[in-house]
Amino acid sequence: MSSIRNSDKQLHLAMFPWLAFGHMLPFFELAKLLAHKGQVRITFISTPGNINRLPKIPPHLDSFITLVSLPFLPEHKANLPENAESTMDVPGDKTAELRMAYEGLQESLAQLLKSSAPNWILYDFIAHWLPPLANSLNIPCAYFSVFPALDTCFFHPPKSLVGNPAFLRTKIEDFLGPPKWVPFPSKIGLKFHEVKKFFGAPPPLVENVDNAILSCDLFVYRSCTEFESEWLNLVGELHKKPVIPVGFIPPTLQVRAVDEEEKNPMWATIKPWLDKQRHGSVVYVAFGSEIKLSQEDITEMALGLELSGFPFFWVIRKEQLSLTDLPNGFEDRTKDRGIVCKDWVPQLKILAHESIGAYFTHCGAGSVLEGLNFGRVLVTLPFYVDQSLHARVLEEKKVGVEIPRNEQDGSFTRTSVAKSLRLAMVDEEGSIYRDKAKEMGLLFSDSHIQDRYIENFIEYLQN
């Protein structure tokens, strides 16, 4: 610690995340943790609307973080909904247009990097064009992954292995278990219905993501060796590049958003209801801002919650209900023990409340970290392939219970929802999940461990 703080060398880092808040916020929180050390100056780059929606920078960090807005080019902006600048602003069929608009920022980003000359640039998985640009300007680039190292090992092997017939993955069956290049025991794999979705991804997009991730000079992960040392080590062995974990960047260290939430009128109405519930009795349900739930999904989730008998707090976005409906009479039948909230809520405050026993989630990387930070058992229902891998590793580590689905079509039932919730919350055989989640919560929320990772990262960049 002292060697870093006594150094006169101040680093200048540029950060350029993908236009999704599940990516922008971890980049932003990493920027603040780095700036807090006093040895790093950060230029954080995004579009004007996204910059305006970021949390406020704490006054004592103002001089270390510069927010820079790069507007979309008019020809790309015209293909998007009005004022749309992030994935939460666009329907799923417009994501390609958002990627094109993001790619259209190349020239203005190049001019900014030329004039500001950062020591490093941290970029995201979509920007396949950024490593060549950085290389042309003699700026080293680091891929900052908000996903665990497991994802890189499973989806992005080095090209030397891809071209080797012994390691080819051309059939659905090749993805149902761990890749052949994983040298240690693991049950990680996708389900049949998940692989079909993966094979349906456009080949150019898959190739671009591969190029973006594998063209870096340094891998940086929102992870730690205490959680996935074997996968972090494997990334380095496979790709022959340095790998630096920066810790989980847990929510209790983020922006001190909890203080702002205390003043929010929503919390004033939510807290009294939570206070009335028994310790560890409530299921918190939230599936992020971008998951599109079908009518069948909504129906089986709702009736599963009802069948479980547990108190629940379900946050469901209005957009998720725009084309669907809750089952007829569901809210009336469960009004004495459940709340369906169709507005923004202070999620960290809810997860921190002692009445919460389990977090029913899609298993996005940020949601996993927030739930485990407070020692909550995760009941998982993944919708995208990265979430599926997260659910499998959480099951392996006995901190998450995955709701069973039909292998062929991915459907699930209200009965499987209720049974999984009971296993996580009260069944004797599920006690190992509850104990392990509490144990993991101590690791995820340990500020000393987090501080050590940030200091190690700065030391690596300085040297």
Q: Which residues are catalytic?
A: 23, 124
The kind and range of the H/E element at 256 are none
- Give the Cα separation of 147 and 9 in Å (integer): 30
Count Cβ atoms below 10 Å from residue 416 Cβ, excluding itself: 18
Task: Give the CA-trace dihedral at 389, 390, 393, 397, to 10 degrees.
Answer: -170
Query: Is 357 in contact with 377 (CB distance < 8 Å)?
Result: yes
DSSP, res 326 = P
The kind and range of the H/E element at 201 are none
Q: Both tokens of residue 142?
A: 């680091």
Residue type for 18, please? W
Phi first, then psi: give them for residue 187, nearest 5 degrees: -105, 10
Q: Is 154 helix (H, G, I), strand (E, B) or coil?
A: helix
Phi first, then psi: give them for residue 358, nearest 5 degrees: -150, 155
- Give the Cα separation of 155 and 148 in Å (integer): 12
Query: Is 452 in contact with 418 (CB distance < 8 Å)?
Result: no
Q: Both tokens of residue 249?
A: 């960047």
**Nearest-10 crossing angle of helices 365-373, 21-35:** 50
Closest CA relative to residue 160, chosen from 234, 242, 240: 240
Q: Where are the alpha helices (DSSP H) in 54-103?
A: 74-77, 95-103
Taking CA atoms, 422 is separated from 225, 312, 441, in Å, by: 31, 13, 21
Query: Is 384 in contact with 151 (CB distance < 8 Å)?
Result: no
Distance linking the first and last C-alpha atoms of the chain: 14
Count Cβ atoms below 10 Å from residue 347 Cβ, excluding itself: 18
Closest CA relative to residue 357, chosen from 258, 277, 261, 266: 277
Q: Is 273 helix (H, G, I), strand (E, B) or coil?
A: helix
Closest CA relative to residue 212, chosen from 145, 297, 137, 282: 145
